[in-house]
Every structure is written in structure tokens, then in C-alpha cells.
Amino acid sequence: MMNRASSFLWNLRQFSTFVPTSRTMRLYPLGFSRPRIVFSYNSNLRNLLLSDFGNRVQSSIRYVFQDALIFKSRDDFQTKGVSIETVLTVSRVLCPRRLSFDSKHSLFSDEGLKINFHHEASNENVLTKETKPTPVNYRKLSQECSSLSDVLDTFSEASTFPSSNYISAMWTIAKRMSDDQKRIEKQLMFNHPAFSQLCEQVMREAKIMHCDHLLFSLHAIVKLGIPQNSLLVQTLLRVVQERINECDEKCLSVLSTVLEAMEPCKNVDVLRAGVRILADQQVWKIERVFTLQAVMKCVGKDAPIALKRKLEMKALRELDRFSDLNSQHMFEALAVMNHRSITLLNECSKMVIGNIHGCPFKVLINILQSCRDLRYRNLDLFKGIADYVATTIDIWKLKQVLFLLILLEDLGFRHTDLMDLFMKKVIDDPASLNMKSIISILHVYSSLNHFYKCQTQEFQEAMARSLTGYLHHISSENLLKAVSSFCLMNHFPLALIDQLLQKDIINELLTSGDIERNVHKLRILAACLKLDTSCPKAVDLALPPLPSIPLSPNGKVADALSSLLGEGFFLRNVQLPHNYHIDFEVRMDINRSRVLPFSHMDAVTSAADIQRVAVLCVPRSTYCLDLTHPRGFLAMKMRHLKVMGFHVILVHNWEIERLQMKDVVTFLKTELYSAEAFPTADRECELERDREEERESQAGCTPSMKPNGLSLTTVRT
């Protein structure tokens, strides 16, 4: 016992010669980092340590780094919210080498408490005579090593502080590898005997290495694919929580990037909340746009709306400093944050359009995906991207162009030139497409209702032949998707339809998967088999009945029809065969010059002399983005209504809402009556009005009772 005490006192006397007597205090107010008070050594510390040594065996030397020894008391100096650490500042000559934690440099031994240091042999007062290893530079190490195992071999030979350099070098090397090579190297890394030692050393050094080294280590570890629930990752996350106040702008950028790539967990959620607090406090001090965008991605969609608006205002202030990359990446940043800033998106769209040549394909895809997520529709932006891809289509793979077309279809945008060029390439080389690509192509072209002059039939036949080759491998749902797409395009390949109509496949579709969607597509097939003359088969499918959903037609259109025609001359919410529904039905003579009443119509007029008119009130979603071309389902519905003998009138809901009632009446009047009816309107107006008044006076009818119908000249305007 006397030997242990004398050894400790001798070491303590060595420290006292290099330690100033001043006292300093440092507080860390943020709740995510435990507040601590740091004291430098003074004359009373020796008595404190000697008195505490016998009673507090739990007190121990925890960390030695560069020129400091840290004593952490677990009991006496613990207060609510504050952890007190006593720091002995020592001359650098005592500890010239940064911390090493291998077995022969342990801070503890069986003989008692000992303190071992490593330093270069010199004429100075030193404790040991070991050579100080040269610190390793991760850039130089990544150039000298060609694999992850080489870095681990270097570490096992002579490890130096900080160990983060080895981790960073490994990630730098991994970035240069192909996916297959990276997968093999990662497996070798996990099996390397020095890997676990490196992980342990990173955990031990986490609290003493520089904050940027700590965060770069965490970033590299996450990118290398080390599991997030591992002790290493979770330990680093906890240490970052304690040291989050040390983050400068560079550290904040790295931390935001790392958290954005990690799955939610308790430690990640706490750090994300900490970043939100830091961002709210320091947003106006951020100088780099990339840091701002990294923070926007990190705070996420759950951030307070006030913080989102503050970040938006900061971005708007920095617009003049935006580079091409900044404008391209802003779409993704806003999408991750789920904040649609129209002003910011419009300005970034202009910059993207003006500098689109040479833009990487991945960036174009990210922009379109972000626009879809934000529900942002910009015709000029979409047209600029599609024009660029159409101009350079020869440098892209078919799968790349198809992926872009899928996104454009999701946005409702139809670029005729790009779709025509792609159709030609598909016709020339259909064998290059797999089953999934064929189904996606059919969906895009049928949904956007795109046809290309005389090559449409050739395109449809090429797709049908290619898909027939997969008939024995295709799933029931994929087969249904393909056939329903062909139905929308008014093309009916018999081999595919015969396969789909098998009883076991129909039963599978009605009992598994997305049953509601399957039933909807089967109804499309059933309607086409019955109504389309180009379809050679007519089969009755036993499908579940449609659910009864109360429908309310457009009230403004209903009032306009009442004002124009009067009650009794049109019907609301008409349900037709084959599960079709129309908002209003009007019956007119064959020339569409007179509106006929529904009462006693069979007795007055034969069916051959009646023209049925279907008035459809359609939303924006039934049209392509330019609002001039109907999409696939609406086009098929119009085709089938014409087969059932209807004249179809489309009323755009978004336009009707902007019009006054008199303008709506004028619009419906123009659409209902044929162009040939208008020249005779003025001449017949007076004659018809006189006849109506005479009949009403003889029969004692009110003006609303019109047994012989209403002509164009007697509309009530």
C-alpha cells in the first residue's frame, strides 16, 4: 500500500511543476451536451486528491490527450444538470504522442494506479523513452493503400492518434471502387482481425478527438455500411450529443448529412432535434449554401413551420450566390423538408433551364421526383428537361429515358417529340426490353393517351409480341396491368386476353393483392370486350357490384342548365351500363337544334330521331398538364359513350368556377346546339314564342310546362 501511495505522489509532484495555479470555468448550456465545469490544478488539489483517494476508489483517471489529464468524480461533484471535471494541465513534453490505447499502454495495472507516457528521447525531463510515431494523414494513406484491408494492416502495425484518419482513408478508398468490388472489400473488412481493434479505439478516442474528426469518422462509418444499431455507431451518436455545442458550420454540415442518411432511432432523433435548435439559432450565420441545404434536409418534414420559413427566407436571401449545383439541389432539399416555396422553386427552375446542358441524368431525375413530391407543376421546366433529353437521346440508355418518361407521366406531362423518338427506338429494338420495362412503357403511353401517326399500330403489335414471350413467367397482376393498358389504347392481343380470362387467374385477382384496383381494371376489360368493335371477343365477367357512393354534380352547371333549359329537360347523375356514370343527360332532336322533354318522349318521338347528349364535368387530373389532351381513361370513356349513342360535352370544372353564371349559360348553349342551328335561331325565335304562348293560353299551362320541347330560340337567358 505504501508503494502505491508513494508512486502516486511522485507522479503528482511531477505534474505540479508544470501546472499554473489559475482557475477557469466553462459552461455548456445546451441540453444535449451535459454541462460541465473545468478546473485547472491549484495548490489545494493535492489535498483534495489525497483525502479523496482513500474514500473514493471509484474516482479514476479517465482520459489523457495531448497535454491534459482529466479526473472525473462520479459522486462528490455531481449536481443536478452539471458534471464537474477536474483537469490537470501538463506540459506537452510529458505527453508528446497523442493517446494510444493498446494493451501495453494501459492506464491501469494490477500493481496499482500508474501513469505511463510515450515521448521522444531528449534532454528534457521525461518519464519514458519511447519513439513518438508520425501522425498519419488520411489522404496520403488513401493514396498508398489500394484496399480497405491495406488500411487495417497499416493500423495494426503502428496505430497513431487520431484513429479517425484510418476510417476516413477507408471510406475514401471505397468511393473509388465499383459496387461489386465494394461489396467484397466490405466483407473482407468485417472479417479482418484489426477491424474490431480499430472500432474499439475509435470509441475510446471519441470524447477527446477534435469535433470535425469525430463527425467525419461517424460519416465514414455510416457510409461504409457498419450497422446503425452497432455499439460503435450508437456510441459515437451519444458522444456527438454531448459535444454538439462544439459544432461550427463545417461540423454542422457534416452532421446534417450523416443524420439525413440514417434511419430514425432514439439517438438520431435526439441529434436531429439538436440540429433544429442550432439551425434556429444560427441560420443567419450560415455562409455556405451547401451547408444550408444540408441543414434543410436534416431538419426534415417534421420541423416546425416557423423554422422551415426561416430557412426558406435565408435561401431567398442567398439566391444571388446560387451556383448551378445549388439551384439543382434546392429541389431535393425542399422536398425532404416538405416545404413548397413557389418563389424559390420558380427561381431555381429558371436557373436549371438556363444551364441544363451537361446536367447529370441523376440530377434531372431528382428534380422531377422532388417536383412530384412537392406537387409543383412547371411546364417550362418539364419541357426544358424533356427537350434536352430528346436532343441527346442517343447518349442515354433506353432504361434511363423510360425512367424519365415514368416520372413525367406521374406529373401528367406529355412531351410528344420525346415520346415519338422513344417509340421509334422501341420498335427498332424490342428485344432489349424486359417484362417490367414493357409493362411500364404500356402504362405510360396508355395513361397519357399518346399515339404517333401511322406507327402506333406497329408499336402496339411489337409490345404485344414481346410480352407474349413472357406469358409463362408473368404474374396475374402484371398481366392484368398490361391488358388494361392495351384496352385503353384500343388494342386487344388475343393471346394475352385468353391467358387473363382463365378462371383460376380471375379468381386469384379477385381474392388476393390489391383487390380494389384489380376489380377496376377488370371492369375496364369487360367494358372494352362489350363495346369496342375492334375487340373480337365478348365475355361476361362476374365482378362485384360498384359501391353506392352519393354523387353531387357540379352545382353551377346544374343551375346554368336549369336557367337555359328548364326543369324536366335534363337528368342528373345518370348511371349507364358497363359501370359508366355521367353528370347530366340532355335529349335533343337528331340535328341538335331542339331540346326534348323526358316526359312522354317515347310517344312523341322515335328513338331514331333522338340524339342523347352526355355532359361530363371533369377535373384537371383527367387531362395532361397542358390541359388540352385528355388522358387515357377519359379518352376511353368518351369513345365508349359515342358507341352507346351519346354526343359528349366536356365541362372543365376549373374553368367553370372562374366564370359568371351568364357566361356559363352562354358556354353550355354553344356546346349543346349544333353550329347549323344558330343561323335560323333569330328567324324562328318569334314564331316559336308565339306558338308557345298560344298553346299555353289554350291549355291553361304555366310557362314551365313545354310538352313539345324547347328549341334553341326559346332558351331562357
Q: Cβ neighbours of residue 615 under 8 Å, at least 6 residues apart?
A: 557, 561, 570, 582, 583, 584, 585, 586, 649, 651, 668
pLDDT at 158: 78
Q: Sorting pLDDT into bands at 50, 70 and 90, what band is 3?
A: low
pLDDT at 52: 42
Quick check: 12 pLDDT over 60?
no
Mean pLDDT of all residues in 299-317: 95
pLDDT at 582: 93
**Per-residue pLDDT tens over the stretch 244-258:** 999 999 999 999 999
Quick check: 119 pLDDT over 60?
no
- How many CB atoms are closer than 10 A to CB 592? 18
pLDDT at 697: 52
pLDDT at 605: 57
Q: Which three cell numbers stand for residue 320?
A: 444571388
pLDDT at 435: 94
Q: Sorting pLDDT into bands at 50, 70 and 90, what band is 348?
A: very high
Mean pLDDT of all residues in 471-498: 93
Please state, in angstroms and as integers, the Cα–Cα distance from residue 530 to each residue in 290, 349, 490, 635, 647, following that order.
59, 47, 12, 17, 19
8-state DSSP, 113: E
pLDDT at 63: 35
Instruction: Tell me which long-range contacts 358-363 makes (C-beta under 8 A, separation of at least 24).
Output: 359/324, 359/328, 359/388, 361/396, 361/400, 361/404, 363/328, 363/329
pLDDT at 7: 52
pLDDT at 258: 94
Query: What is the reported pTM?
Result: 0.74
Q: Are 428 and 392 in contact (CB under 8 A)?
A: no
Mean pLDDT across the chain: 78
pLDDT at 602: 53
Q: Sorting pLDDT into bands at 50, 70 and 90, what band is 606?
A: low
CA angle 507, 508, 513 (to 5 degrees): 135
pLDDT at 626: 86
Q: Which residue has the cell 441545404?
A: 293
pLDDT at 694: 52
Mean pLDDT of all residues in 234-244: 94
At 639, phi and psi to the nearest 5? -65, -45
Q: Sorting pLDDT into bands at 50, 70 and 90, what band is 56?
A: very low
Q: Sorting pLDDT into bands at 50, 70 and 90, what band is 538?
A: low
Q: Distance (Å, rounded) from C-alpha 229 to C-alpha 265?
A: 9
Q: Which three cell numbers stand for residue 90?
A: 501538463
Between 452 and 85, the more confident residue is 452
Quick check: 150 pLDDT over 80?
yes
Highest mean pLDDT among 48-52, 122-126, 527-531: 527-531
Phi-psi region of 514 (alpha: psi -120 to 50; beta: other; left: phi over 0): beta
pLDDT at 345: 97
pLDDT at 690: 53
Beta strands at 571-576 and 580-589: parallel, antiparallel or unpaired: antiparallel
pLDDT at 230: 93
What is the secondary structure of 465-532 as a DSSP string? HHHHTTTTT--HHHHHHHHHHHHHTT---HHHHHHHTSHHHHHHHHHSSSHHHHHHHHHHHHHHHHH-
Q: Which three cell numbers stand for residue 60?
A: 479514476
pLDDT at 448: 95
Between 46 and 412, the more confident residue is 412
**Per-residue pLDDT tens over the stretch 514-528:** 999 999 999 999 999
Mean pLDDT of all residues in 20-25: 40
Q: Sorting pLDDT into bands at 50, 70 and 90, what band is 607?
A: low
Q: Are 249 and 286 in contact (CB under 8 A)?
A: yes
Between 247 and 77, the more confident residue is 247
Mean pLDDT of all residues in 35-49: 39
Q: Are 181 and 210 in contact (CB under 8 A)?
A: no
Quick check: 40 pLDDT over 80?
no
Q: Are 717 and 670 in contact (CB under 8 A)?
A: no
Q: Sorting pLDDT into bands at 50, 70 and 90, what band is 185?
A: very high
Q: Sorting pLDDT into bands at 50, 70 and 90, what band is 537?
A: low
pLDDT above 90 covers a percentage of the chain that reads: 58
Q: Sorting pLDDT into bands at 50, 70 and 90, what band is 608?
A: confident
Query: Which amino acid appears at position 323 of this protein?
Result: S
Between 565 and 684, the more confident residue is 565
Highest mean pLDDT among 213-222, 447-456, 607-616: 213-222
Quick check: 46 pLDDT over 80?
no
Q: Sorting pLDDT into bands at 50, 70 and 90, what band is 386?
A: very high
Mean pLDDT of all residues in 454-480: 91
Q: Which three cell numbers stand for residue 455?
A: 406507327
Quick check: 340 pLDDT over 90?
yes
